[in-house]
Structure 1
Amino acid sequence: MWVTAAIRCPPRTTAASSTSASVMACKDLVRTCVRAVQRRPGISPDAVCVWILRAAVLSLVVIMGVPWQTATAQRSESAAAIHFVLVSDLHYGLARARFRGDSAVSAAKVNAALAAAVRALPGTRLPDDTGVHAGQPIGELGFVAVTGDIANRAEPGVQSAAASWQEFLDTFVAPLNAGRAAPLPMIVATGNHDASNAIGYVPALTPRTDTAAMAGLLRLIDPVQYAQRPPFDYTRDRIHYVRRLDGVALMVLHIWPDSAERAWMEQELSSIPDSVPVLLFAHDPPMVDISHFTAPGGGPPGTGGFQALLTEQWQGAPLPGARFEGSPTLEGFRELVRRHRNVRAYFHGHQNWTEFHALREADGTALLPAFRVDSPLKGRDSATDDTKLSFLVVTLDAARQRLTVREYRWDHVSAASRWGPQATILLR
């Protein structure tokens, strides 16, 4: 990994000369590192990293992607409060049968309305429930999480992944950032539709493969690293990463934690102190969609009904009729959670309705709280009822180590009826 991918310059928040000097020093360090890597392709990234860390001033932020520390500093409430929003399954390229009285409304228009609802959230008062910060106004959002399926598969009658990705940037990302001094931080995960567009699907898509959405996702979360890489390759460029925010680690996974993904997770978790809560973000639910595995014995997408989105080959009965309970890979995920007790919650999409549930042991005992979010295009309950369209608002109290997840019905006509169920969990 290129060292420059982990460096962000702090914004000009004051006119003080010390701040300006820090900004300039940071920019100079980034430019120097880029030149060093470009001139000497064989240079050790570790050596460059050590040099930068020794030379950096205190204002140098060592995180990947968008300026997380900036957003934290801009929040008006106490640093102990983090608010974030979870959305998923935006499915650009599809249309809702009806939305706000109109027929056949494109995903671009629906998701623009969703972005407007997220943007309007700060200042909204939380319900008077038993959750974190109950009855208090929501402050500046810490980040927005999107857990995949940004582009629908390019099936007959559906636009390309390239067109869908551009609509996502134009109608969701851009409105969220309009008028902001710094971009609103986002974490974005890979969905099965995004991945199938990149590697192919049966029946064939048009075009047969289109890496635009996956490459765009990589560029969105890590623009510096993307600039240094060759064209996107699905096998090589597995998109998973960790963000740190106010004493919490946000771990974004590639579709679902199969054996290959768990190996990466173990490496990352080994560097996170046990006292730091870890929140997982993935597309698939804890009980993964079995068709997303590679077929037993290998093979391209479509072999035996498997989509080959996960590296691991399925170990179990063939499709259809395969059952996930009792599979070695499910037990491997459970064992990881048992071993790393600071892994505290799992956020996901894919199944297109809001539910507070859990990864469970074989005997039914809850092992890890899980939170699924609605889809604005394919919602099981909301596809035919605008008032049931929802996203999740998560409020985290870092000081008390508590987190509350609340459903927010963003298109309900009655403000009093917009808040749905809530659940609070402990982070230690």
Structure 2
Amino acid sequence: MGGSTTTRAILPQCRRAHPRYLVSTVFQLFAPSSPPSSTSPVTGPTLPILHTVSHRPPSNASFAHNVALTRHLLGNALSERLGLPQVSLYTYLRMRAALLVQAAFPWFGQLYPRAGWAAKRRALLREGIPRSLRWQLGMRRVSFRPRTEAAHGAKTSEGETHGEVADEGAELAPGVKEAECVSPDPARAKVLVRAWREVLVEMFTLSLAPFSPSWVIEINAQPLLGSFALGVVTELLVYLSRNLRMPFDKQLEYGIRAAGKGWPELLTYMKKLSKEDLVKVNKRMYEMRIEELPESIRPSSSQSYMKAMETPAIDVIPEIMVESIALEPLPPIMRWGYAIKASELMDIAVESGYDGPTFRDSGGSIGGRLAALACIPDTIDDDIDLSLVHCEGDLTLLICICTNRDLRKGARRISKKLKEFLKRTEDPKWYINEGV
């Protein structure tokens, strides 16, 4: 009006209305021809949908559990309107207990000051739930099946109709059957299970800390208050919970082993250890976390920048390089990717249409590198970075996918596409960042 435009914010109730649109559309499609009365239950797809999703991963909830959960979320009036049956008190209590367990994780994450715990839990769920779905349902049930354009009754170039193809529908697109194959990865599954146990141990340990004996809070006769003390005790309990069935000297000798006998036995065992033994365990745990590191970047009094520059490329970095815990030094920045020569970058730039100077003898040109950096993301459909890293005393160009300080989502998928683009046979490696 009058040439002025007024921009108004979308009302919150309008933003929350889009789920109701989907529900009303489903009822419109599945509704009976004659409209029901205002008192009779609606014969809709509610019960068939709840039955379909029952006993499915990742929760494998029963049909009764799904009905109880739906009644709890919708309320009695709407549930009766939809024809949802009543559930037993036992089923209702189990459903509420399951909701309480699920809510415990975000509640704990809000109260616990260590952000690494919540990030680790989210990363495990982000990878673990899709793996569980694919393994239990198969790729066909969790992804679309692209087909060719052959349709029912399609004719060939000679005008003949292939009835067999018409009965089956369109053919599967090339590579679909291979993509639907689920390749088991037991080694990675063990890593995820072990990491998830550590998340649970840390959560329950801190939850039980207020009820633990006084020795848990007092180490070396000095009270350690707050999250710092609890973090130290947590890491100690994580270590000991894996080794309860081994004598103390064997724990120090063999390190981390899975055992697990429950929390009462854990507290009983911990109370038998002297304060000197607790200090030894904490020290030995730290030594085991760094013993897999190359000597050039292992924390020590003789550590130096020049020594760190001698670090070779590393296939797999230990957990301490990704996330440090209480009393541990911050790990250096490491980059994960493919080392590349300047001449290779120039070749990529020229193939992508770059016609500027290349200066191959002097290590390439800025324009050529920018052209290569523009070509690679367009080809693999993902962002990458070009960095300088140290490798055995030399500075090396690296096509970087992620760093140990920022483990990028989808890094494995990006590495596969980058590996194919660069025609490499080996996997990406970790390199020390320039300047460490």
Greater percentage in strand: 1
Bin for the TM-score computed over the shorter chain: under 0.3
| Higher relative contact order (CA closer than 8 Å, sequence separation 6+) | 1
TM-score scaled by structure 2?
0.22
Which of the pair has more CA radius of gyration? 2
Greater percentage in helix: 2
